[in-house]
Amino acid sequence: MNSFDPHEIELHLRIFTMRNFERPMDCRDLEQVRFYVRELCLKIEELESKFSYVPQWAYTLIGTI
């Protein structure tokens, strides 16, 4: 992803969340929820710094945790 392509960024973020994220109800404890929130926040920061673009649903996902 060298150039700014919203569809590619969205696909990349969806794959990331499917591989690396569990629903809070499926987590064993609060520390596991915190881990996933941190990982998602880091991914959002990475996308913001590289592309100045993050799909709105990524922020919504944080709000549902």
* pLDDT value for 30: 87
Question: What is the reported pTM?
Answer: 0.79
- Name the CA radius of gyration of the chain, rounded: 12
Grade residue 63 by pLDDT with cuts at 50, 70 and 90: confident
Number of other residues whose CB lies within 10 A of the CB of residue 38: 10
Q: What is the pLDDT of residues 3-61, one digit of tens each?
A: 678 999 999 999 988 887 777 678 788 898 888 889 999 999 999 999 999 999 999 88
Give a three-class secondary structure readout of the chain. CCCCCHHHHHHHHHHHHHHHCCCHHHCCCHHHHHHHHHHHHHHHHHHHHHHCCCCHHHHHHHHCC
Residue written as tokens 């709105």?
56
Domain locations in the chain as residue ranges:
25-65
* pLDDT value for 49: 95
* pLDDT value for 15: 92
* pLDDT value for 1: 47
